[in-house]
Amino acid sequence: MGKILAIAVLGLMLAGCETARQDRQLGGALLGGAAGGVIGGVASNSVGGALVGGVLGAGVGAIIADETRPRGRCYRRTSTGRLVRARC
């Protein structure tokens, strides 16, 4: 259980660093799917419950990650290394 918690915390920390919309959605879907799968499996004590929880968690995780992304503060590096503002 401690390993799962440590992986979840590390995943949340990494997901918070993303700024690109697709990266945030993917990270949210992965974290939500993992959490939903664990919760669904424990709550129902079956593989079917884990699958349903994983699917629902992935969908909700992607939506939440997309809605909480920072807006209007996106930057990227040019080939020369200069930091420029980019469209989010």
- Per the listing, tokens 């915390």 go with 9
Closest of 78, 73, 62 to residue 23, by C-alpha: 62
Q: Record the pTM.
A: 0.57
Cβ contact 69:48 at 8 Å: no
Two structure tokens written together for 44:
């129902």
pLDDT at 25 (0 to 100): 85
pLDDT at 37 (0 to 100): 93
pLDDT of 88 over the 90 cut = no
pLDDT of 16 over the 60 cut = no
Confidence of residue 34 (pLDDT cuts 50, 70, 90): very high
Those residues whose C-beta lies under 8 Å from the C-beta of residue 38, and which sit 6 or more positions away, are 4, 50, 53
